[in-house]
Structure 1
C-alpha cells in the first residue's frame, strides 16, 4: 500500500507520456507471414472483408475462395483476393546495465530508455498488438510475456520504475530467446556492452522474419564531455579508468563518432531499423512518434 501512495519520480512521468502518445499509430514495416486478425498487413491472401482483386483459379487453390456468383455469370472460376491483416506481438528488450544509469545525478539515459519503451508499448497495445518486456538483470530477469491485458502497461511501468541500472548484464541471450514468440522486437540500449553478440542476435531475428528495431541511447555528456581534466570510469567496471584532457578530447570524439557510425551501418546491413536519440535533447513523445513513423532500412 505504501508503494502505491509514493510512486517514484520516473513512474510519475508516465501519465503525461501516455496521454501525449495517444492516437499515434505504429504500422508494421514488414508483412507478417501469418497471424491473428489485427491492424497490420499480412503476406497471406485470402477471403476477407477488405476485397482487393480477382485472379483466375489455379489447380491447388482452396475451392472455398472461389467466387461462385462470378462463376455463374462468366462460366470461369476466379479467386477473391484480399489483404489480410494480423496482430504484431511486440517485445521490448531493455538494457539495464550500469552504463544506462549515466550520468549519475540524473540517470538521463535510463529515463529516456524507460520512457521510450513504455510509450511505444502503449502505442502498440492501443493498436491491438500484444506487448511484453524483457529486462535482464544480475539479480534476475524480468520477463513479461506479450499480452493485451489491461494491466500489461502498469506491469511494465512498475518493472522499469523499480529497476536501478547496475552490473554488466548481457541482452544478447534475451533477444535470441524471443525470436519465435515476437513479430516485432525493440532493443533499447547504449550498446556499450556485448555489442557484437547483440548485433548477431538481432540479425538472426531479422533473417527469421521479425521486424527488429534498435534504439541507441546516448547521453549528451558522452557527446560533449567537459574539456577540463577528468578521470573517466567505466560504470560497469570501476577498475577501468581513462584520463580525459584537452589533448585527448578530440581523439575521443572522433572514436566515439566512428563507433556509433559502425553500429548504425552494421545493424542496417543485417535488416535492423536503427534509431539514435540523445538523452536530454529529445522529448520521449517525439522519439516515440519518430520510431512509429513508416521506416526504410538505413533511415533516421
Structure 2
C-alpha cells in the first residue's frame, strides 16, 4: 500500500477527534479535561477566597450579593500524548494472498494517529518488527502522521515479535493503543497493560482478525502457524464447527480479560472498513459494542 492509498481513509476520518476517557493528569494546555482546577474560561465551581489567592479571580458580583469573597474555578484543558503500538509479526501477514490483517492494522494505526493529531495531541508510533522496534516519539508537528505512514510502509510482517516490552517501555505515555492479533505473547502483553492502567494510563486494545478466520472457506485445508511452521492443523468440514466454537470462545475470553484490566477492547475484522473501526475506538458510543461482536461475530 503506497502512502497515497491512505488518502481515502484520511478523508473518511477527517473531523474525527479522540477525546480522553477521563480527566487528564497535569499536562500542557490542550483539548481534554484536566484533573486540575484553574482559571480557564470554562467555569466549573466556586470556592471561598483564601489568603494568597489572586484577587483578580474574585467574583465581585457574587461578593456584592453574599458579602463573601469567592474564587471562580474552571476546568483546565490538557493534551494527551498518545503512542500507537503495532504488532508486525508473521501472523499479521494473513491471508497470504492479500495480507488483509496487516493492511487493516496499518490503516487503523494511521486513522487513530490522524484523530489524535486532529485533537492537538502529540502522537507517536512503535512498530514491533522482526528486525527490531521502530519508534517515533509523540509529536504534534505538521507531517507527523505522514512520517508514521512511511514507517508502516517500510515494514513487512514476519517473524515472532513480542509486544510486552514495548508496552512496558511506554509507561510514561498517558494513552496507548495496541494493535495486534493476540497470537504472540498475549499474556505478557496483558500484564504490562494492567500495570499501565494501574498507573492511570488509558489503554486501547485493537484485536485484528481476518474475515477468513471468522468464517473459513469450505473444504479441506491445512492450517500452518505462520510464526512456527512446525505447527499444523487440518481444517475440514468435520472439524470446522469445533474450530468456530473454540475461536469464538477464545475471542470472548480475550475481550473479558482485557476489559477486566480496565482497557478498552475493540474487535477489528478485515470485513469492517478501517474508518468505522477508527470511529469505534475514538467514540464507541457511535457503534455497536465491540464486546458484543467479540462474542457473536460469525457465531
The answer to whether the superposition gives a TM-score over 0.5 is yes
Residues 84 and 62 (structure 1 numbering): CA distance in 2 closer, same or farther, change over 3 Å?
A: farther
**Distance in structure 1 (CA, Å) of the matches to 2:54 and 2:103:** 53
Q: How many residues align?
A: 287
Match of 1:224 among 191, 215, 219: 215
Residues 299 and 270 (structure 1 numbering): CA distance in 2 closer, same or farther, change over 3 Å?
A: farther
Give a deviation string over 1:175-194, Cα, whole Å, max 9, x none. Answer: 111121x2110000000111
**Distance in structure 1 (CA, Å) of the matches to 2:54 and 2:277:** 46
SS in 2 for 1:262: helix
Ranges of 4+ aligned residues in structure 1 off by more than 6 Å: none
Normalising by the residue count of structure 1, what TM-score does the alignment of the two structures yield?
Answer: 0.90
SS in 2 for 1:13: helix
Contact 1:70–1:78 (Cα < 8 Å) also in 2: no
RMSD value, Cα: 1.9
Match of residue 20 from structure 2: 28
Match of residue 289 from structure 1: 279
Deviation at 1:37, TM superposition (A): 0.7
Match of residue 199 from structure 2: 208
Match of residue 267 from structure 1: 258
**Residue 83 (structure 1) aligned with residue 75 (structure 2):** yes
Deviation at 1:44, TM superposition (A): 0.7
Contact 1:191–1:216 (Cα < 8 Å) also in 2: yes
Deviation at 1:295, TM superposition (A): 5.5
Contact 1:41–1:83 (Cα < 8 Å) also in 2: yes
SS in 2 for 1:237: coil
- Give unpaired runs (5+ residues) of structure 1: 1-8
**Distance in structure 1 (CA, Å) of the matches to 2:190 and 2:137:** 23
Match of 1:40 among 32, 35, 52: 32
**Distance in structure 1 (CA, Å) of the matches to 2:256 and 2:59:** 52
Give a deviation string over 1:4-40, Cα, whole Å, max 9, x none. Answer: xxxxx34231112112111112111111121111111
Deviation at 1:55, TM superposition (A): 2.1
Match of residue 64 from structure 1: 54
Normalising by the residue count of structure 2, what TM-score does the alignment of the two structures yield?
Answer: 0.91
Match of residue 94 from structure 1: 86
Match of residue 104 from structure 2: 112
Residues 127 and 240 (structure 1 numbering): CA distance in 2 closer, same or farther, change over 3 Å?
A: same
Match of residue 135 from structure 2: 143
Give a deviation string over 1:108-129, Cα, whole Å, max 9, x none. Answer: 0010110001011011101100
